[in-house]
Amino acid sequence: MSDYILEMKGIVKEFPGVRALDGVTFSARKGEILALVGENGAGKSTLMKILSGVYPHGTYQGEITIEGKPQSFSSVRDSENAGVAIIFQELALVRQLSVCENITLGEEISKNGIIDWNASYKKAEEALKLVGLDISPATITGTMGVGHQQLIEIAKALSKKAKILVLDEPTAALSEKEADHLLALMRQLKEKGVTCIYISHRLKEVLGIADRITVLRDGKTVGTQNTSEMTESSLIAKMVGRELKDVFPPRADKDCREAVLSVKNWSVSGGDTGIDVKNVSFEVRKGEIVGMAGLVGSGRTELAMSMFGIWGERTAGTLEVDCKPVERFTPKDLIRSGVSLASEDRKRWGLVLIHDVKTNITLSALNAIATNGVVNRNEEITSAGKYVKDMAIKTPTLEQRAGNLSGGNQQKIVLSKCLMTRPKVLILDEPTRGIDVGAKFEIYTLIHALAAQGVGILVISSELPEILGLCDRVLVMHDGELAGELPIRNATQENVMALATGSN
C-alpha cells in the first residue's frame, strides 16, 4: 500500500487560451501538514478545485487516488464523501443563520421530515469542541469576527469526518492571536491523523507549520521537500524561478515637500459596528509613503473608507487635497479631487468580478475615454491594454472576466483602475493581502515609482515588516484614535505594537 493518503498524478487543466495545470503531480501523507505554495497564477487554487470536485471529472486529465482508491468526483458532495474538505479564503457561511444551522447545512438531522434541533445542537457542540470554540450553537454567525467564522468552517468540515482538510490562505484576514490559535489547532488535528494541506503566501508561517512543502510554478510541479531542508530565500527562489535578494526596493532620500493630503480633527460615527473614528489628524506629503499600522478593529480601514465617503457618518473634521478643502464626500468627488482608494476587500469594493479586465481598469476614469458621454471603445482597449502591459497582468485577453484571474492579477487590476484616475493621493488598504512574494515585489516597486513621481501614498497594512520595509513614516491607530507617529528610523515592531495595544 502507498505511503500517501492522497495522490494526484499528471493533472492537466485548460481554460480558453490558458493551460492552468500542465502535468502536475501532488501527494500527501496521512497526518502531515503539507504546504502548497507558488506565485499567483501558479495553479494552486485550480488544483484544489479539482480535488474538491468544483471542477468535475472529465473537465481535466489525470488521476486522483485517496487511500489507494481511484476517485472521479462529479461534485463537491462526492469529494466530501471521500473525506476531503476545503475551506476557501472567501468563507462559505450563511451569515444570517446560526452556528448550528451552518454546521449542519446540507446534512440536516431530521425525524419524519422535521429538523431534530436537540440532535443538531448536540452535533454542533461536539464540532465546536473539536476546534476549541466555546460559543452557543444558537449564535448568529454574522455577529462574530472572521477568526471565529474560520473556526466554524473547520468545525463544519470535521463534523463531516474529513480526512483531508485544505485551508486556502486561512490567516490572511486574522489577527496575530487568531492566527496563532488556528496554527495550534492544525497541529492538534495532525496528531489526530488529519492531513492538512496548507496554502499560504505567508512564508514564515509555512516554514513554521509545515512538515513538507510542494512548490508549483507556471502550472507545473517544481518539487516537494522537507521543510527542514529549506530556507525562506531558497523557497522564494523555487517559487519565482530566480533569487530575490531584497523583498523591498531601496528607500530613496526624500526632501520635505508640502502636504498633498491634510486630515484635521476627523471624527466618524460607526453606528452599530462598535468602531468610531475619533479626532484623527495627519498629513501625507508629496512623494511620501506613509504607513498606517494597528490591530484589527483599531479603525484603520474605517478611517480610509470614511475619508472616501463609503463608511460611517462624519461628525467633525476637514480634509484638504493640495490645500483645497473637499466639500462633498462621495467616491466621485474624492476621485475628482485627486484621491484614489484601493480597498482591502478587492472582490467586494475593488472589482466587478463578472466584468472583463478592460472594463474594470477603466471604470473609475470613464471621462478620460469618453466623448459627449459615450465611451470610445477603441480608446478603452488602448488604455486598458497599456496598463495590462505596464503592470504585467497575466490574462489571455482583455475580455477575460476579472473573477477568473488569480488574486495577484486581480490586485494589479485594482491598482491599474486607481492609477488611471491620475491620483495625487493613493490610499492602499492591505495592498498585498493574499498575493505571492513575486507580485509583492512588483507592487512595492510600483509604489516607490509613484512616490518618485510626487504621488502621496498612505499604506494600511497588518504586516509590520511591510510597513517598516516600505514606508518613510508610520502612523499607529488604537481604538479609533491616532495613538502615535514614528519616523521610520525610530520605528521597530516592538514600539509600533506598544502603540497599537495602547500600552505606551
The DSSP-derived string for 115-172 is E-HHHHHHHHHHHHHHTT----TTSBGGGS-HHHHHHHHHHHHHHTT-SEEEEESTTT
* Sequence spans of domains, the chain: 4-240, 246-338+423-504, 349-421
Mean of the pLDDT values across residues 70-86?
Answer: 92
Paired with 57 in beta bridges are none
* Residue 361 buriedness (CB in 10 A; 0-12 / 13-18 / 19+): buried
Crossing angle between the packed helical segments 176-191 and 146-159, to the nearest 10 degrees: 10
CB atoms within 10 A of CB 227: 18
Q: What is the mean pLDDT of the chain?
A: 88
Of residues 5 and 160, the one with the higher pLDDT is 5
Q: Please name the helix (run of DSSP H) or strand (run of DSSP E) that holds residue 183, with its range, or none.
A: helix 176-191
Q: Of the given ranges (48-62, 70-84, 264-278, 433-447), which has the lowest mean pLDDT? A: 433-447
With vertex at residue 141, the alpha carbon angle to CA 202 and CA 351, rounded to the nearest 5 degrees, is: 55
How far is it, in rounded angstroms, from Cα 350 to Cα 344? 8
Phi-psi label, residue 154: left if phi above 0, alpha if psi -120 to 50, beta otherwise: alpha
Residue 327 CB-half CA count within 13 A: 0
**What per-residue confidence (pLDDT) applies to 254?**
62
Q: Has residue 462 got a pLDDT over 70? A: yes
Q: Has residue 250 got a pLDDT over 80? A: no
- Report residue 310 CA to chain centroid gap: 20
Kindly list the distances between the CA atom of residue 51 and the CA atoms of 25, 62, 64, 415, in Å, as whole numbers in the listed order: 12, 11, 8, 32
**What per-residue confidence (pLDDT) applies to 503?**
65
How far is it, in rounded angstroms, from Cα 485 to Cα 476? 6
Fold: same for 4-240 and 246-338+423-504: yes
How far is it, in rounded angstroms, from Cα 291 to Cα 306? 18
State the CATH class of domain 4-240: alpha beta
Q: Which three cell numbers stand for residue 47?
A: 488544483
| CATH 3.40.50.300 describes domain 246-338+423-504 | yes
Q: Which three cell numbers stand for residue 110?
A: 431530521
**What per-residue confidence (pLDDT) applies to 249?**
74
Q: Which residues contact 16 (CB under 8 A, 6 or more apart)?
A: 396
Is residue 185 very low, low, confident or very high in pLDDT (cuts 50, 70, 90)? confident
Q: Which residues contact 15 (CB under 8 A, 6 or more apart)?
A: 396, 404
Using DSSP's 3-state secondary structure scheme, residue 308 falls into coil
**What per-residue confidence (pLDDT) applies to 143?**
84
CB atoms within 10 A of CB 386: 13
How far is it, in rounded angstroms, from Cα 20 to Cα 217? 10
Is residue 335 very low, low, confident or very high in pLDDT (cuts 50, 70, 90)? very high
Is residue 38 very low, low, confident or very high in pLDDT (cuts 50, 70, 90)? confident
Whole-model pTM? 0.68
Give per-residue pLDDT as tens, 17-33: 678 899 999 999 999 99
Is residue 111 very low, low, confident or very high in pLDDT (cuts 50, 70, 90)? confident
With vertex at residue 16, the alpha carbon angle to CA 14 and CA 21, rounded to the nearest 5 degrees, is: 20
Greatest CA separation found in the chain? 76
DSSP-assigned letter for residue 479:
T
Per the CB < 8 A criterion, the answer to whether 267 and 277 are in contact is yes
Q: Has residue 64 got a pLDDT over 70? A: yes
Per the CB < 8 A criterion, the answer to whether 477 and 293 are in contact is yes
Cell 469618453 maps to which residue?
Answer: 370
How far is it, in rounded angstroms, from Cα 358 to Cα 421? 14
